[in-house]
Structure 1
Amino acid sequence: MKYKGYKAVVKFNEGDDCLVGKVINIESPTAIVFDAQSVTELRTEFHAMIDFYLQTCKEKGITPKKPMSGQMTIRMSPETHASLLSTAHTQGLSANKFINQAIEQRLQS
């Protein structure tokens, strides 16, 4: 689910027999979580939670955490950079695709 640049993942909570959503693309000390009985209700709750979060930040004079864009700069030695490009090319991948696959594999282990 996406709304105003924020993304949420949805899981089914068997114990409570409901859908539970959690905003995933902001760094926040407290999670933004919401639940509902149907997809339509869940979407409404998601929008309401984001709107509430943004309004609360405005009222408190706090800058809201911006959604992560998915872009970041990675610094590495020239030797590592050359090795990365060579290995990615050998596998028929762009450097970006190679790095993404390596990170995803590492996060799953």
Structure 2
Amino acid sequence: MNTMTYKGYKASIAFDEKDDIFFGRLLGINDVVGFHADTVADLKAAFHEAVNDYVETCAKVGKSPEKPYSGNLMLRVDPAVHSKVALAAEVAGKSLNQWGEEVLRAAADKQVA
């Protein structure tokens, strides 16, 4: 998946061969915000406009715009897995948060690459 980032918002980018256009959608928020364009330069401008319009529209209606992911992650796992993870972090000389972030980053990088 190709992505673009602007003002902390990330968008997925794709090409529609049938209609011969690029299109994108903001990721990481529940609101649906999309955009499209014929060229890469216009797509980038459309993305920036979509983010700016989203933030402005939220302000006009008195709603806080959703922010993409806060960095807080709550997981529920089997107690045996929790125990192994805590031990792995301790063996690595890291906090559970440090170890977990490294492992999750490596797994996500591998999956998204």
* 1:39-59 Cα shifts (integer Å, max 9, x gaps): 110010001011111111111
Alignment of 1:1-109 (within 5 A): 1-28=4-31, 31-76=32-77, 78-85=79-86, 94-99=99-104, 101=107
TM-score, normalised to structure 2's length?
0.70
- Paired with 1:87 and 1:12, the residues of 2 have a C-alpha distance of 42
Across the two proteins, how many residue pairs are aligned to each other?
99
| Dislocated runs of 4+, deviation >6 Å | none
- Paired with 1:21 and 1:97, the residues of 2 have a C-alpha distance of 29
RMSD (CA atoms): 2.8
Identity of aligned residues (%): 35
Contact 1:85–1:95 (CA under 8 A) maintained in structure 2: no
Q: Which moved more, 1:53-62 or 1:72-81?
A: 72-81
Secondary structure in 2 matching 1:67: coil
- Paired with 2:103 and 2:86, the residues of 1 have a C-alpha distance of 9
TM-score, normalised to structure 1's length?
0.72
Runs (5+) with no aligned partner, structure 2 = 92-98
